[in-house]
Amino acid sequence: MDISYMTRDGYLKLERELNELVKVKRKEIAAKIEHARSFGDIRENAEYHAAKEEQSMLEQKIGNLSARLASAQIIDNMDIPDDKAYVGATVKLKDLNSEEMMEYMLVSEAEADILENKLSVSSPVGRALLGKAVNEVVEIEVPAGLLKYQLTEIRRS
């Protein structure tokens, strides 16, 4: 099983999601199945089949989350140098094409959320930033063209 590195916050978020699925969603779906069974013959009962399909997808998601948590290695910021960009670091970048400044936290794929400025280290930009130091310039070829960023700051919380 491959080890998946993630921040403590990311691990706790996945753990909360799994807990919600197991303790709440399972019961809700079981109630839907029981309700659909009360209609009688289940062979042609659309509500029953829809609830069973929902149950199957839920169990698959629970299995995936459980596996991700089981293979997770929580990153302790104290053990990682703060002079280079690694998982758990918050980096400030300057877009050398537009002069725009942006800030991202480098996280595992499981934690990535662009709306929260959490950038996966397996994305093209995240991969290019790994191991880089302040003032280094990275060039990333993407379908839209060549991106050029200068790393201006690295922080760890």
Architecture of domain 4-74: Orthogonal Bundle (1.10)
Confidence of residue 77 (pLDDT cuts 50, 70, 90): low
| Alpha helices, DSSP H, located in the chain | 8-20, 26-37, 46-70, 124-129
- Domain limits, the chain: 4-74, 77-156
Architecture of domain 77-156: Roll (3.10)
Tokens of 123: 């994305």
- Answer whether 0.85 is exceeded by the pTM: no
Q: Is residue 148 within 8 Å of 136, Cβ to Cβ? A: no
CA triple 91-17-48, angle to 5 deg: 140
Question: How confident is the model over 116-154, as pLDDT tens digits?
Answer: 999 998 899 999 999 999 999 999 888 888 899 999 999
